[in-house]
Structures are given as structure tokens and as C-alpha cells.
A and B are shown apart, each in its own frame.
Chain A
Amino acid sequence: MRLDEVEPGKTVKVVSIEGGRGVRHRLLNMGILPGEVVKVVRSAPLFGPLMVSGRSGTFFIGRGMARKILVEEVS
């Protein structure tokens, strides 16, 4: 599953991040890296960004960027 497919309110675990170093770097800085658990708090309409919250804070992540983040459900 990809992060942009996660329903708001759900908590997921990051599996991997696709794309080059440039894309990855900012996400890593914001504590979004493999193994971390994040919650999708809400999403904007019309393919707008997601609001994602984790141990390192709360962030807006654009839809295209969220597509590059592979996640799995946590029980």
C-alpha cells in the first residue's frame, strides 16, 4: 500500500521510500523513514496533500510525494 491510499485516521508503518536522494532527504529529516509509525490525520480534497503525524512532528505531504512512500498496516 502507498501512503496516499491510506484512509484518514489510520496508522501505518513506513516500509520504504521510492525515488532519488533529493526526494528522500527531506522526508528523512522529518522522521519519515522505514520502520517509523505515522498517522494520516486528514487529507485535502481534490488530490490535495495529506496531514501526517509521527514521533517527529506533524507534516503536510503532497499527494505525489505520498505516492512514493510504501507503507503497511499496523494491527
Chain B
Amino acid sequence: MKVVLVGQPNCGKSTLFNHLAGYKAITSNFPGTTVKFHRGRVRLADKEIELIDLPGTYSLGYSDLAEREARRFLLTQDYDVIVNILDASLLGRGLELTLELLELQKPLVLVLNMMDEAERKGIMIDEKKLSQILGIPVVKTIAYKGQGLTEVIQAVIKAKTENLKGNPLPFSRDVEEVINEVTEALKRKGNTANIPLRFLAIKLLERDEDLLKLVGDNLEEYEKKLETRHGRSSDLVIASERHALAMNISEKVSQVLTVPKPSRWDKMDNWLLHPIFGYVFLVLIFLGVFIFVFEVGKFLEEPLMETFDKGEELLSKSFSEGPLKSLLQGAYQGFASGIGIVLPYLFPFLIILSLLEDSGYLPRVAFLVDFLLHKMGLHGKSALPFLLGYGCTVPAVMSTRILESERDRILTAILVTLFPCSARMIVISGLVAYFLGPLYALSIYFINLLVIALSGAFLSKLYPEITPGLILEVPRYHIPSLRITLIKTWFRLKEFIKIAWPLLIMGSAVLAFLQHVGLEPLLNKLFLFITHPLGLPRELGVTLLLGILRKELALLMTFQALGTKNVLEVMSPSQIMTFVLFVTFYVPCLATLAALWREIGLRRTLKGVAFSFSIAFLIGLLARLVL
């Protein structure tokens, strides 16, 4: 049995999915965390259920790619039951989507999630009455606590076996008349791609571009009819009808017992979004995160590396010189630096990232920096992909799907690759923070932001177009749960352990072998066009090549290539800064290239690569001259 989870952004859909299917989808307290489908399986009482978690969508019309994808799935794919999840504390708004889903005429279950939040706001919901009105099972849950999930599964099975498709609710009479006329017209026409006619008719009256194209018909006469009767455009007529209907149902089935007091958290915004202090906190949080990571990382790295160095001595004593020894030594160094250098920085960083994501603070950054992003021809919403970019560029590039305009999406995707992801953070930590001090490392982050701002301004001159502007829901603050934080961190750490670490071990072994047989200088020669003008040791050439596979490799291979772990012996501070700045900006890693290709196409990806490479080269040259 195939079950799709549908809901508005931030209603706890992915949390519910993870509880049922095991942790597979990253959840966060901001919209756009899920921009593609996640699939999972639950086995219950001999029944195997396939769960599909769709991107959050406010309605079955769409404003962005993530929403469009969710709708396309619902209209074209085969599935048995829809589970519609809504935030019970925003019942009226959530029901607007439910009303649309009813039109699809598929077995449907409504889940009222976040019941604890609704109760805190003093909202009591009569789910039996709601179930009667809609004609479908309604279940109350608190997904993050796992409450009510068995009932959800039972309701799904019930909806499927009893074929509970619910009752599409009628709009006012004159609107219904026009809808019926359009339905009749569609019937005569045929060719409606198996989309339920009434749903199609309503969407066409809402002037849905995709569907108008699909039907290829002019429905202006019907639109006009609604417009003259109501004195406003037909899409607005339908939206208002649906809104009123949803609010009406919400009032019928819920009661507000107490007037909600502004919670302590709401008051936090008085500080965090303050015209002056808001920015002070933003800078402090930003600095705090990185200083914490650099300090904790260094504290952990030193004893770990000492231990591994002892192991290396042992290894070097027990084998005689030869290709085998080089290979083994290389592999060992790759293995050791994975634990000794990468994890000490990556682990604390991922924990903090997860805490920030779940707290609800990040969307507020969009509010604070909106005016700055306008100077780059974008708007506040781009801040979300940018902030995600500090973690990993791949999901950050994908999250650009939450942007409404194509141009904003392309610019943001290209700029996002310039943000130092956690892998680059490791290069910055391991070389700059470790050898030169945290202040130097922070200065790299500062220079990085400056360069991105200038690049953004430059790119938006190339692609001048007015950005539609920010509309973003403000999530509630939320104390992140320890369990979810750890699971999420582990989920991301696994990425490193499974993919990057083996690459690291192999890369290190191969490089040691190349050094042994004397092929390395040849490779380095290929990169002289970079290393020479930037005044870097030519041995670093090969690290740049490996850095394209994974950015962490650039750091670890540096030790291998230079033949020492004390980089200061062979590189001056200015050379270290030049190298790290270059690595921060140059060509994104392979996984990012693939993601970019998918999101913005090959040609733009290549342009983006050329762009980032030129920036890296320019900044490298500048650093060499200035520092």
C-alpha cells in the first residue's frame, strides 16, 4: 500500500515520517527542509506500507518548485491513501489545503498535529465533528513525542479498506454554477489527463498556468462571469471562497478557551529582531558558533593526533621501505586524519547547526538581512539556502527550490556554492585556526561574506530583474530535542564516514604511492598555472585536484603532499591564508556540481564554475599581494 504525506510547510510532516519510517528525512524548524520526496517503509500487522513524504505545500496551486513537485506527484503518480497533516494551532489555514485535497477524491486521512501547541494556545478541537463534516478519519497527534501515530496507521488502513474519500464541500451557489459549467465544458472536451474534473475546473478558474496549458483551452468567458459578479479577479474569488469555508469549519469545530498570552518565546523577538540589538545578536551568534567550533576542535585534535602519531612511528618501524609501506602509511594517515582532524571540528559544528536549525532562529535571519540581500538583487528568503550552505552545499543548492522566481533561484544557487560548507570549515579550522589562530579563521569568513556580497551585486547587474520580494512564514521558537539533535548529527556524520572517509584513506594511499614511484611531480606540474602565480609550494597542486572530489581532502592531502603535519615549517602564514582562501572559493566539489547541474542545468553550472574559479584566483592573487 502506498501512502503519501501532504501538508503545509512546518506542520511536522517529516517528523511524523521519521517516527514511522525511521530517521530518513532531515527535519528542521524552517520551510524548505524537504524539497524532494523521501520514501520509507512501515510493516504493521502483515501490511507493508510505503510512505512518501512530499515537500511542504501551502496549497495545490504552487508558488515555487518544491510546491510544484508536490502537486505533480499528487496528480500524476499512483498511490492509495493521502495523509494530510496540519498544524492544529493553525487549523483554519491548514483546512484550506484539506479542502483542495478532498477534491482529488482519493482515500484521505486528516492528522491534527502539534496538539500540544494548540492546547497551549487554548484551542479545543472536536475532531469527531470535523470528521463528520469532511467525511474522512481525523486523528490527533503530537508527532515529535510519537503520540497518536498508531492511530494514524489504523486510520490509513480504515480509509483504504472503506474507501473513505470524503465529501468535497460546496462553495456559494453562484460560484458552484460557474464551476459546474466549466466541468461540463471539460467533459465535452475530454483529454483531461485523468485529473478529477471538479478539481481541474476550480484550478482553471484560479488561472493555474500549468493546467491551463495542459487543457489548452480558453476559459476567459467563465473567469469573466465570476469577475463581473464579484468585482474581483476569478482566482481571488475562489481563494476567498475557500478561505471563508475553511475558517467557517474551523470555527464550527474549535473553541478558544483562553486568550493566548504571548509566550516567553514571542517576547524573545523583541530582542532578536530589534532594529539594533537584532544585528548585535546575529553577529555574536555567528562569531560564537565558529569560535566554539575552533576551540573545541583544537582541544580535541591535539591529543588525538599525538596518539595517532605514535601509531605511525610504530608502523614505520615495523615495515621495510618499499611501495607497500608507502601505501600502508598513506592509508593510515588518511584513516587517522579522518578521526583526528575532521571529526573534532565536524562533530561540534554539526551539533550547533542542528540546534540552530531546530530553534526557529534561522528564518528570522531572513528578516534581518533582507535589506542587504536587496542590494544584491535578491531578497531575504535567499538567506535560508545561504545559511544551509554553511552545513553542506548539496542540500543548500536543492533548497533554492523554495524561491519563487527562476532568476533568484539561479543566482542563489551559484552564490550558495561560495559559502564555506562544513568540509571547507575543516580546511579553515585545520590550517588557519590551528596554525594561525581563530581570529585569522574568522577573517576568512568575513572576507568570504564580503566577496559573496560583491559577487551578488555583480551577478544581479548581469541579470537585472526585479525580485518578487520576501514572503516567509515565521515559525515558533522551539527548544530542540536532544534526541533529534543527536540523530540528525549522526545522520550527517554518516555522510562523512561512509563517503568522505574511504575516499580520504584511498586518496591518501594513492598519493603516497605516487610520491613513492615519482609520478607526483608530473601531476603538480599540471597545476603550476595556479600554484605558481599564487606563490604556493608546487607540491600543493595535487591537493587541489583531490579537493574537487571532497573539500576535506585539500587539507589532509596538504599534510601528505608537504610531508609534514607542521605546515608552518614549509609555508608562511601568508601562503597558508592564500591557499585556504583559494580552496574556499574554487570549483565546488563533485557532489555539488551534480546538484547544480540538476537544479540549474549544465550550461549555467559551467558558467558558475568558471565564475567561482575566477573569484578564487583573484582573491588568491590579492591575498598574495596584500598579506
Interface residues of chain A, those whose CB is within 8 Å of chain B, are 16-17, 21-31, 33-36, 42, 44-49, 51, 55-65
Contacts and interface: CB of A to CB of B under 8 A. Distances in A.
- Chain B interface: which size bin? 35 or more
B71 interface: no
B255 interface: no
B464 to A, nearest CB: 15
Contacts of A17: 236
B236 A28 contact: yes
Interface stretch (B57-65, B553-561, B600-608): B57-65
| Most-contacted residue by chain B among A33, A60, A64 (CB, 10 A) | A60
A44 B366 contact: no
A34 B473 CA distance: 19
Contacts of B474: 51, 57-60
A42 B207 CA distance: 34
A62 B379 contact: yes
Contact of A25 (B63, B90, B278): B63
B623 interface: no
Interface stretch (B36-44, B328-336, B367-375, B524-532): B367-375
Contacts of A48: 367-368, 370-371
Interface stretch (B239-247, B489-497, B535-543): B239-247
B29 to A, nearest CB: 14
Nearest to A66: B469
A75 B61 CA distance: 35
Contacts of B380: 49, 60, 62
Nearest to A28: B239
A48 B58 CA distance: 24
Nearest to B238: A28
B269 interface: yes
* Top 8 closest pairs, chain A to chain B, by CB: A62-B469, A62-B470, A29-B58, A56-B93, A65-B469, A28-B239, A45-B275, A58-B474
18 contacts: A21-B207, A24-B235, A26-B58, A26-B63, A28-B235, A28-B239, A28-B243, A29-B61, A33-B240, A35-B240, A44-B371, A48-B367, A57-B90, A58-B474, A59-B473, A60-B363, A62-B471, A63-B469
A56 to B, nearest CB: 4
Nearest to B276: A45
| Most-contacted residue by chain B among A26, A35, A58 (CB, 10 A) | A26
B469 A30 contact: no
Contacts of B92: 31, 55-56
B63 A51 contact: no
A17 B61 CA distance: 18
A30 B239 CA distance: 11
Contacts of B589: none
Contact of B58 (A16, A24, A30, A64): A30
Contact of B90 (A46, A51, A56): A56
A65 B235 CA distance: 18
Contacts of A24: 235-236
A25 B469 contact: no
Nearest to A44: B367
B239 A33 contact: yes
A25 B468 CA distance: 12
Contacts of B243: 28, 31, 33, 36
Given A49-B370, A57-B90, A30 B473 contact: yes
A59 B472 CA distance: 5
Interface string B454-478: 0000000000001011111110000
B100 to A, nearest CB: 11
A2 to B, nearest CB: 14
A44 B273 contact: yes
Interface in B331-382: 363, 366-368, 370-371, 374, 379-380
A33 B93 CA distance: 12
Contact of A55 (B233, B247, B379): B247
Contact of B404 (A26, A35, A47): A26
Given A26-B63, A56-B90, A44 B469 contact: no
Nearest to A57: B90
B598 interface: no
Nearest to B234: A21
A25 B247 CA distance: 18
A54 to B, nearest CB: 9
A26 B243 CA distance: 13
B93 A57 contact: yes
B128 interface: no
Contacts of A28: 235-236, 239, 243
A29 B371 contact: no
Given A26-B404, A44-B275, 17 more contacts: A16-B232, A17-B236, A29-B63, A30-B471, A31-B93, A33-B240, A33-B243, A44-B371, A45-B276, A49-B370, A55-B247, A56-B90, A59-B473, A60-B366, A60-B473, A62-B370, A65-B471
A23 B466 CA distance: 12
Contacts of A30: 58, 93, 471, 473
Nearest to A47: B371
Contacts of A60: 363, 366-367, 370, 380, 470-474
| Most-contacted residue by chain B among A31, A42, A46, A57 (CB, 10 A) | A57
B468 A34 contact: no
Contacts of B275: 44-45
Interface string B164-198: 00000000000000000000000000000000000
A49 B93 contact: no
Contacts of A58: 473-474
A69 B92 CA distance: 22
A48 B209 CA distance: 31
Contact of B59 (A21, A22, A29, A35): A29
Contacts of B236: 17, 24, 28, 33-34
| Most-contacted residue by chain B among A17, A27, A30, A35 (CB, 10 A) | A30
A36 to B, nearest CB: 8
